[in-house]
Structures are given as C-alpha cells and as structure tokens.
Structure 1
C-alpha cells in the first residue's frame, strides 16, 4: 500500500494513526504500508513526536518521505530515533527540516545503527560540522558490518570546508563500502581537501562524490566567487622555462630534486608553487600529473 498526503497542509491525527500498530483495522493497514509520503504537510515538532514512535514500530514500510515540513527540536530527535529503529526502511527523505544540534547527532546514529537503509536524503536539514563528523564516524563503523547505504545527500547544509575535509579523510579509512554516491554539492573544497579526495577516488573508483566550487589557492572566498584573476598554464610555465616573479619554476624544482632524476613529487611541486608564489587550481595539478608522470609512479617529470 502507498499513502501519499503531499501538499495537503497540516497533518491530522488520522494520518498518524494510520501507521501506528494498534488494534483492529489499523493493525491490518499498518502491515500493508510500503510507501508513506507526507512531504509538505507542515508537520510540527509535536506532530513529529507522535509520528516518530509510529515509524519506529512499523514493520512493513520501505520508503518514507517527510521532506519540506517543520520538523525541529524534540520532534526531529524522535523521528530520527524512529528511523533508527525501523529495520525494514530502505529509503528515507528528511530534506528541508531542522535537525540542528542534538537532532543531527541522532541522525548520525541512524547512519551508524540502521544497516538496512540504502538511500538517505538530508538536504537542507541545518546539519552542523559536529553532525557531519558523527556521520563520518557512523559510516566508518558500519563499514565493518553489512551496511546497505548507497546514497547520502548532505547538500545545502552549513558545513565548513574543514569539516568536509575531515569527512573525506575518515572515508579513506574504510576497508570496504557499498556507498556509491555522496552529495555535498554546495560545499567548497580547498587544495588539501582535493588531495584527500584524490586518494579516496583511487581507493573507491566507483564512489561518486559531488562537491561545491574549488577554492583558488592563495585567494580569498570573495575572489573565488567573482572568479577574479587569470591563471597561468603550469605546463607552459614549466616546459618553456618562463620566469615568474623573477624566478623559474624549473629551477626551484631542480633544487628539490635530490636524486637528480628530473622527477619531483606532487607535494614538492606544491611547495615550489608557494615559493613563487603562483595562484592555481587543484585541477591544474591533476592535469600536470597526468601529463608528466613519465615513470607512472605519481611523480612529475620536469626535465
């Protein structure tokens, strides 16, 4: 059975009672619900408290959509607890509700303890850095179990780039995972974050991670937004021996090349670019590495 009450205004007690495990006909209805869509019903914190217990006790529901409501505070905590307890639920959409503070930590427990969920949508839930860290730890712990989680949408939450970097690092510690898609579409990443992401992509090539804009190294966020300034071609700068700020990139790399094999590591190249200094995008480093990795060992041939 599918129940859709989307766009209907405030939810009433009958809708809550329909999924509660009670006596008589309601019990039979409870056992038939597979898909419950209550999005855009202005469900309040109080309504969510009633609904949370019902969600936790339901043993047939596979898909739950509570997006675009007014679920906050204690109601959000109870809803998260109910989802954590529901062992049949496969897909859950809580987008555009308020799960700040303790409610966000409770959501992280969903990730950690409900190993049956495959799709979890938390877009625009006011989640904070602390919740993101807890979610990362939850993913790390469930990798030791049989977690079915394939997609997590964390976009439109006020995460910092530093918190996202910590999340990526945590994911590199996974031994295995079924996670295929991680959405952080509006969160900008910096050079350090990009390096960790490269490592993550190498370890889990089937995992798709969508993030926000790439911060320009050495620029402020305001400069990034207006895309100010031009970026020199690192390849041309290196191959043509062009002087930049009265120094040549190739000369700095030569000083770092203690083995005298005309190869440097990516970290050494980054340090050389800092010494000039040159503004660049991390994607330029990736392109240069792909073009000049003559020995196929992750080093850059500058000779």
Structure 2
C-alpha cells in the first residue's frame, strides 16, 4: 500500500469526506508542534487503555473502506509519533509524484520541482533547497515507501530537530537509503537526541554527515552512546561542530568499542590535549577505522607523540589528516618514529602546519628508509622545499615510483634544478666528456679545480647557464664550501 496524505478520495457522502479531511489536517498540523500521547491500542490492534487528545476522533480508531490510518511510533520512550495517512494502492494507484504533491498539500509545504523531476534517481541532491521542517515532513511521507533513493543530500535546509524527527521516522520504514547528509541544518542537542534514537536501532544507514550543526559535548555524548554498539554506520562526519574535551572523551570511548566505523571526520572542533588524548587512546584499540581526519584539532608535539605510538602497532589506518595544526619540525620527528615501522598508512596530510624544509626532509628520509611503508601520498603543500629535497625525492622514486609528495617550490628552485641537465646536455651535443672538461682545467693533475676556474671556464664555453644556475651548480659540486671541486665526485651526479 502506498503511503499518502489523501484529500480527494470519493467517500460515501460529502459530510463524511469533509470530516475525515479536517481530522487529517488537524493531526498533521499538530504533529510537528506537540507530543501526542497514546498507547499501542489506538492503532486498532489492542484493547490497551489510551490517553490522547485524539481519542474522540473515530478516524484513528477504525479503518474504513478506502482510508487506513497508519500510526507508527518513532521513539517509544519519548512517545513521539509520526502520523501517515495512506490509501490502498490497488484502489488509487497513485504515482510517487502524486504522493509527494498530496503530502505537500496536506502539510502545507511548498513542492520542490527538483524532487518531482528526479524521483527515479538513486542520488537525490536537495542541498540548500530551503525545505525547512514542513518540507522535510512531506519528503519523509514520500520516501517512507519510495525505495529508489540510496543517497539523500539535505545540507543547508534549516531542518532543525523538528524536521529531523520526520526523517528519522521515515528511515525506520525506508528500505533503500544508505547515505544521509544532514550537515548545516541547525540540529543542536535536540537534533542529536533524535538521531541517536534512530542510530540505536539502525539497520541500513551506512553513511551520515552531521557536520556544521552546533553540536556540543552533550550532543557528542548522545551520539557516542548510540554508536558504541552500532556496526552498520561506516562513514561518520562530525566536523565543524563545537565539541570540546568532554565530548572528545566520550567519542574516544565510542571509538574503542565501535566495530563498524571505517571513516571518521572530527576536523574543526575544539579539542585540546585531554580530548585528543582520549581519541588517540580509543584509536589504539580500534580495529576497524581506516580514515581519520583531525584537521585543525589542536595537535602539537604531545598529541603527535601519542599518535606515533599508535602508528607503531596499528594495521588498519590508511589515511591520517593532521593538516592545519601545530605540527612543527620536532613534531614531525616524533611522528616519524611511528612511520618508521608502520606498514599500512597510505595517505598522510600535514599541509598548513609550521613545518620547514628540515621537517620535510626528515619525513622523506623516513619514508625512503622504511622499505615496507605503504605511503603513496604525502601532503605538505604549504612547506617551501629546496633543491636538495626535490633531488632526494627523485632518488626515492627510483624504488618507490608511486610515491606522490605535494609541496611548495619557488620558481627559482625549479630553475636551479634544470642546471645540471643543461650542463650534461651541452657536452652530449658537443660529443665531449665532462671529465675531459675538468681535466683540461686541472693542469697539475690534482683531481681538483678551483670554483673560480670552473665558473670562468663555463662562461667561456658558452654553456647556457645564468648566474643563478651557475652558482647553484657550484654549491652542488662543492658541498663542503672549500672553494674547490673534486671532479671525481662530479661523476656521481652526472
């Protein structure tokens, strides 16, 4: 049977029709504003005693030939209900669009044309459509029995806790939705409580985005309690909220007990060392988490040291995002203690941290040394690196060709890196040997030439290097700054 709000069914008499329409409208309008108290007996399946302001309405006490009132409990412990009036599909055969339009008329919501045009889409993208609670109510009526949508996007719709109630009720009946985006909907603590009730009995929702909802420590506690025993949710996003250390501790306990979550985003909250320590402690015993995002989460040396200990023994985490924190060169050194033995981490994000070229080189050397490292992508895109780092990276890629580093490099550095290639190419085109070039300068056969003599000879030979490139080439050949070049060593470069 299709769930609808019907306002134009042919009844035996006009007076009967009007009476039933008024009853439905009154209930639906009150459903979003007050709690309606009643017991199981009101659904017509029990003789239990009931207490309700609707007990005199015969519509909720019986079934007639064409209309059935389906009353189901969202959260029995809170006696909240969602009332759905629907008709027999065999008699009315209403299409999903008709169901939605009638639901909008019954609830007073403005129909969204996008919904009508995409009823057959698996991904229903309603981000920033301004649905509000009433729009969510009409949508919930449609989706309760519409088993096509698998991904529902509802970001920025001002749903608030009220609108979320209808959606959570719908999820108890819907058999297809696996991914739900409720970010930026002003849910607050009440919204978190409503969602927690659903998560306590979740059977099919695998991904839920709850970012930007003003969740506090109390909200985090509700969600953490519900998720402790949930094994269905795989992807949870709680970023851009107001969760502090107390909430971090609750989430840490959840992380230690949860056996389902694989992707967790806690970026841009208000954790300090206590909350971060609790999260890391939970991660230490967690056996399922694969991706952890903690961007802008107050990570410094103490937290990084704890994370390094986790990386030494963790064999499930493949992505770690610590960007926009307080990770400096010393923190990178501590992190490398974990990376030196880790064999599973594939992606490491450290951009927009106070890391210098020293920390970048430390990181690269650690990755190069650990032959069992699985790292394929490292993001230090805000770090200004030098020529030495780039050359070391090229050496590393000989044995690790899949390794990708994101870094920042000045045009002048890139130009310098071309100098050695230009130098080699010049002699190849002349069919001459670089060693012959140096030997011609070494009149006494000492295997050394002065840097000044080298500079002069390069200019006289018209090798196309500018002053900057020539200076860098001299520094490369004379690493110890002795003003002499041992040209036997030059062979290792060319």
TM-score (norm 2): 0.45
- Contact 2:308–2:334 (CA<8 Å) still a contact in 1? yes
Q: Structure 1 residues 162 and 154, CA, compared in 2 at 3 Å: closer, same or farther? A: same
In the alignment, is residue 280 of structure 1 matched against residue 469 of structure 2? yes
**Aligned-pair CA distance for 1:191:** 2.5
Out of 390, 393, 404, which is 1:208 matched to? 404
Q: How far apart, CA to CA, are the structure 1 residues paired with 2:442 and 2:380?
A: 37
Q: How far apart, CA to CA, are the structure 2 residues paired with 1:282 and 1:176?
A: 38
Q: How far apart, CA to CA, are the structure 1 residues paired with 2:210 and 2:281?
A: 22
**Aligned-pair CA distance for 1:164:** 1.3
Out of 375, 380, 386, which is 1:179 matched to? 375
- Contact 1:189–1:215 (CA<8 Å) still a contact in 2? no
Show the 5 A alignment for 1:34-49. 34-49=234-249
- Contact 1:214–1:281 (CA<8 Å) still a contact in 2? no
Gaps of 5+ in 2: 1-205, 428-435, 457-466, 475-490
Structure 1 residue ranges, 4+ long, deviating more than 6 angstroms after superposition: 231-234, 256-260, 281-285
**Aligned-pair CA distance for 1:204:** 0.4
Q: How far apart, CA to CA, are the structure 2 residues paired with 1:281 and 1:71?
A: 50
**Aligned-pair CA distance for 1:34:** 1.6
**Aligned-pair CA distance for 1:213:** 1.4
**What's the secondary structure of 1:30's corresponding residue?**
coil
Q: How far apart, CA to CA, are the structure 1 residues paired with 2:426 and 2:297?
A: 53
Q: Structure 1 residues 175 and 5, CA, compared in 2 at 3 Å: closer, same or farther? A: same
Query: In the alignment, what sits opposite 1:243?
Result: none
Q: How far apart, CA to CA, are the structure 2 residues paired with 1:251 and 1:299?
A: 15
Show the 5 A alignment for 1:98-247. 98-142=298-342, 147-214=343-410, 216=412, 235=422, 239=426
In the alignment, is residue 63 of structure 1 matched against residue 263 of structure 2? yes
- Contact 1:215–1:281 (CA<8 Å) still a contact in 2? no
- Contact 2:227–2:254 (CA<8 Å) still a contact in 1? no
Query: In the alignment, what sits opposite 2:50?
Result: none
Gaps of 5+ in 1: 21-25, 218-223, 241-249, 286-296
Once the two structures are overlaid, the 10-residue window that deviates more, 82-91 or 107-116, is: 107-116
**Aligned-pair CA distance for 1:28:** 7.8
- Contact 1:153–1:182 (CA<8 Å) still a contact in 2? yes
**Aligned-pair CA distance for 1:279:** 2.3
Q: How far apart, CA to CA, are the structure 1 residues paired with 2:410 and 2:419?
A: 17
Q: How far apart, CA to CA, are the structure 2 residues paired with 1:110 and 1:273?
A: 53
**What's the secondary structure of 2:384's corresponding residue?**
coil
Q: Structure 1 residues 237 and 2, CA, compared in 2 at 3 Å: closer, same or farther? A: closer
Query: In the alignment, what sits opposite 2:212?
Result: 7
**What's the secondary structure of 2:340's corresponding residue?**
helix
Larger relative contact order (C-alpha < 8 A, sep ≥ 6)?
A: 1
Q: How far apart, CA to CA, are the structure 1 residues paired with 2:281 and 2:292?
A: 13
Q: Structure 1 residues 195 and 19, CA, compared in 2 at 3 Å: closer, same or farther? A: same
**Aligned-pair CA distance for 1:238:** 8.5
- Larger Rg: 1 or 2? 2
Q: How far apart, CA to CA, are the structure 2 residues paired with 1:58 and 1:127?
A: 28
- Contact 2:241–2:268 (CA<8 Å) still a contact in 1? yes
**What's the secondary structure of 1:18's corresponding residue?**
helix
In the alignment, is residue 31 of structure 1 matched against residue 231 of structure 2? yes
Q: Structure 1 residues 170 and 18, CA, compared in 2 at 3 Å: closer, same or farther? A: same
Cα deviations across residues 109-168 of structure 1 (Å, max 9, x unaligned)?
Answer: 2322222011111111221222211222212212xxxx3221111111111211211221
- Contact 2:290–2:319 (CA<8 Å) still a contact in 1? yes
**Aligned-pair CA distance for 1:203:** 1.8
Out of 185, 207, 222, which is 1:17 matched to? 222
- Contact 1:165–1:193 (CA<8 Å) still a contact in 2? yes
- Contact 2:248–2:276 (CA<8 Å) still a contact in 1? yes
TM-score (norm 1): 0.70
In the alignment, is residue 89 of structure 1 matched against residue 294 of structure 2? no
**What's the secondary structure of 1:80's corresponding residue?**
helix
- Contact 2:256–2:282 (CA<8 Å) still a contact in 1? yes
